[in-house]
Amino acid sequence: MTNTQMTNTLQDLQDYMFDTMCSADMAVDWYCDRFNVSATDEVIDFVCDAHFGMFADQ
């Protein structure tokens, strides 16, 4: 998955996280299922960064 593809899916990811208040692990699982991708380091970093940005995790 390219950076452009991930950027294009960010709104869906943010909507899911806002609606469910999910953990970062759940967000990674949802993202991989929703967009049919593997949980590579790049995908995990992208989703966790988005989760951190939304919830300001410590």
Give residue-wise pLDDT tens across range 8-58.
899 999 999 999 999 999 999 999 999 999 999 999 999 999 999 999 854
Q: Is the pTM of this model over 0.85?
A: yes
> What is the rounded CA–CA span in Å between residue 44 and residue 25?
9
Give the count of beta carbons closer than 10 Å to the beta carbon of residue 11: 9
pLDDT of residue 20: 96
> What is the rounded CA–CA span in Å between residue 40 and residue 38?
6
pLDDT of residue 57: 59
Structure tokens that stand for 50 in this block: 């988005």
Structure tokens that stand for 28 in this block: 């990674």
> What is the rounded CA–CA span in Å between residue 54 and residue 36?
23
pLDDT of residue 58: 47
- Which one has a higher pLDDT value, 19 or 7? 19
